[in-house]
Structure 1
Amino acid sequence: MPFFAYKARNGKGELLQGVLEAADQGACADQLMGTGATPVEITATRQPASDVEGIWARLTEKAVTPLDVQLFSRQMYTLLKSGVPIMRGLAGLQESAISKSFGKVIRDLRESLDAGRELSAAMRRHPGVFNNFYLSMVRVGEMTGRLDEVMLRLFEHLEFDREMRSRVKSAVRYPMFVVIAMVAAMIIVNVFVIPQFVKVFESFNAELPLMTRLLIAGSNFTINYWYLLLGGAVGVFFGIRGWMNTVEGRLKWDRWKLRLPVAGKIVHKATMARFARSFSLAARSGVPIVQALTVVSQTVDNAYLSQRVEAMRDSVERGESILRTAVTAGIFTPIVLQMIAVGEESGSLDDLMDEIAQMYEREVDYELKTLASQIEPILIAFLGAMVLVLALGIFLPIWDLGRVALRK
């Protein structure tokens, strides 16, 4: 977008000068008036020359976070509920934005609205900030005239999503630290410890036990061909990542995640809680069931479960009931199916879905609290096996040597 040099006066009559980026002179004037300044002169100019500080500021500028979008949703609800015009409200949010990057997003929203676009269309210009579910819900709010209510529900939805992700990260932090420490210990033993014992073993002039020979071979391979191990690890990482980026790979990976011994049930319950919460939000906003299932399928962060939700949508579109499609999907527990049946019969499916979401959330919360105790036996068993292998491989030859010396 072009840049414009401006001169304006604030409410005290003081002269203000600067450069703004805007679609045209009218948009630049709107930006100034939105801040309470009266434009005096606006002329087109070239982009300011980039200096070292400007380049460094752009490189270190923080990206827009989900928390920024969450706070924006709450602020928009308050402004719209109070009857503040949306252009004036966005101008105030732009000035008070803590994140400079999100302030630029709000500025672009204002310029798009000033150019005649709808809010949902303006937000669609920033797919990295507003996801498909957010855009669909804003569009529903525009169509039904209840944009303020939609913004409040989006705030609650984002709050739930943020808390869920935070709990998962907190729960897996300790197991990940233990695994990383164990891998580091294995590398140190192979590179530094075993080579020192090799010198001692060579002085025995005797055949070493099989476990010892395996440890020595593994240590020699690690030291002499570490670049092959590193290259293989990098190749496997990028190979798996590329496979997961394919449609088939992502589908198989997401389905496999649900079958993991400990984490699988947590992933499944958390995803279903998100599905139920999103469906309840869409239904309460007046979205038809078929369209609601379409929107919700985009929020489910699992390709396999998203595919099952889309199959439910297709069945509902053919005239089948929600209960029948839910049974066919095979992703709900019997208790949830019973609640869906009651909600469909009573016409309060949105309320029942909200209760289902709360039930899944409570189960996820319990699973996360007990996650460390569930993983701890696995980590202890793995650590014990590693210590046993090292003990047999390193100390068994020394023990045999001691027995021989005692016999003499």
Structure 2
Amino acid sequence: MRYRVKALCPGTGVTALTVEALDEAEATARLQRDGTQVLSIVAERGNWLSARRARFPLLLFTQELIALLDAGLTLTEVLETLAEKESRAESRQLIERLLTTMREGRSFSAALAAQGDAFPPLYAATVRAAESTGDLSPALARYVGYQNQVDTIKKKVISASIYPLLLIGVGTLVIGFLLGYVVPRFATVYADSGRDLPWMSRMLLTWGEAVDAHGGMIMLGAVGFIASVAVALVQPATRAALTRLAWRTPAVGEHLRTFELARFYRSLGMLLTGGIPVVSALGMVSGLLSVNLRSGAATAIESMRRGETISAAFANGALTTPVAARLLRVGEKSGRMGEMMERIAVFHDEEMARWVDWFIRLFEPLLMVFIGLTIGLIVVLLYMPIFELAGSIQ
């Protein structure tokens, strides 16, 4: 959920921010970790269409930023150029706010952090690491690569879900047509036949008579139920409850954990490659974890502060898998921890892709069989009295 915050930031005074978080407590805690004092916080209300329309094109901005930096322009000149060529008023104003903050003497990473609604914390952390080493363009290129990999995984999951969702939609429409139109017509035909019908056929035809007599009320109730479900699903509490339920499901929960750990290791590896110390990097990316794993990140940070190795600290926080634990120990011996974490992320991404492919291959035929059997059962129950009548005539 998105929150509008009025906060007292070190060095800048009172600033208006926009923060993405699951609830108000998480948004407040995240700002306080950065040394920001929250003065007021209000949940932002708005429809998803307007939010999507106003979304800042972060990847395009970053790619243009890299190209102009590689061409030899200074960072201020690059931002001035991008502001001049930007056609959308919202994006141009955002870039101008970045310029204004930098002209006040603050760093580029601080200017990005002040615009948290457009630039995620990981982006600002990447720039902060690059400012200490002077390799801003390569660091931004690493972020673009990271984001492209994350988007690729999301697109795979979405594309794999399209056909099952289409099957569910078409099957629901066909079953709704049979129950809402065909069954009531058959109920009218059979009403005065005076014949004893099979029990299941009687139940189905009783439903048809109810639809024929109170169709408007039933339709209104169905629409109200669907609207209630839709409203409940957009509530943070409902989504959190569904997430907890998914995590407790034996097969699904383990793969959700693998998916989160892959994103966690990729983000952490990118920051370590950029030169950020592991404890600081872990604190920056812990916000990417769900509530189920976030406490593990805090445990790992405390373990490393006590002098334990990275692999042991991650094991204490339940942030490893058998493969990840081995590769972390290899990274500790070789000193290439950032590279090893990226390898862990690649391995788990491939594992997740195989599982999604296997699940879809199994789920699609089972879904088709279920829909086919449901439609076939309705049709058979409707025609069963006719079959019995034909048998009695013979």
Distance in 2 (alpha carbons) for counterparts of 1:99 and 1:368: 38
What is the deviation of 1:265?
5.8
What is the deviation of 1:186?
1.9
What is the deviation of 1:189?
1.4
1:166 maps to a residue whose letter is: K
| Change over 3 Å in CA distance of 1:326–1:388 after alignment to 2 | farther
Distance in 2 (alpha carbons) for counterparts of 1:349 and 1:60: 38
Equivalences for 1:193-204 in 2 at 5 Å?
Answer: 193-204=182-193
Given the alignment, which residue of 244, 263, 266 partners 1:277? 266
Deviates more, 1:350-359 or 1:97-106: 97-106
Give the share of equivalent positions with the same residue, in percent.
24
Distance in 2 (alpha carbons) for counterparts of 1:161 and 1:368: 15
1:358 aligns with 2:346: yes
Aligned to 1:47: none
Aligned to 1:342: 330
What is the deviation of 1:263?
6.0
Given the alignment, which residue of 192, 197, 200 partners 1:208? 197
> Which structure 2 residue ranges, 5 or more long, are not aligned?
1-49
Per-residue Cα deviation, 1:270-298 (whole angstroms, up to 9, x for no partner): 32221111010111112121211111222
Contact 2:186 2:205 in 1 (8 A): no
Contact 1:262 1:375 in 2 (8 A): no
Distance in 2 (alpha carbons) for counterparts of 1:133 and 1:193: 56
Aligned to 1:233: 226
Equivalences for 1:207-356 in 2 at 5 Å?
Answer: 207-219=196-208, 220=210, 223=215, 224-242=217-235, 245-246=236-237, 252-258=241-247, 267-300=256-289, 302-330=290-318, 332-356=320-344
1:107 aligns with 2:100: no
Distance in 1 (alpha carbons) for counterparts of 2:280 and 2:52: 38
Distance in 1 (alpha carbons) for counterparts of 2:323 and 2:177: 51
Across the two proteins, how many residue pairs are aligned to each other?
Answer: 341
TM-score (norm 2): 0.77
Distance in 1 (alpha carbons) for counterparts of 2:362 and 2:93: 46
| Change over 3 Å in CA distance of 1:327–1:193 after alignment to 2 | same
Aligned to 2:55: 64
Aligned to 1:192: 181
- Equivalent position SS for 2:194: coil
1:171 aligns with 2:163: no
Aligned to 1:138: 127
Distance in 1 (alpha carbons) for counterparts of 2:348 and 2:52: 38
Contact 1:120 1:139 in 2 (8 A): yes
Contact 1:283 1:350 in 2 (8 A): yes
1:110 maps to a residue whose letter is: L
Contact 1:308 1:329 in 2 (8 A): yes
| Change over 3 Å in CA distance of 1:95–1:369 after alignment to 2 | farther
CA RMSD in angstroms, aligned pairs only: 2.8
> Which structure 1 residue ranges, 5 or more long, are not aligned?
1-58
| Change over 3 Å in CA distance of 1:108–1:218 after alignment to 2 | farther
Contact 2:109 2:128 in 1 (8 A): yes
What is the deviation of 1:61?
9.8
Per-residue Cα deviation, 1:312-354 (whole angstroms, up to 9, x for no partner): 2333334333222333444533122111122123322211111
Distance in 2 (alpha carbons) for counterparts of 1:319 and 1:348: 19
| Change over 3 Å in CA distance of 1:260–1:392 after alignment to 2 | farther
Contact 1:251 1:303 in 2 (8 A): no
Per-residue Cα deviation, 1:163-193 (whole angstroms, up to 9, x for no partner): 1221111111111111111111122112111
- Equivalent position SS for 1:225: helix
| Change over 3 Å in CA distance of 1:214–1:337 after alignment to 2 | farther
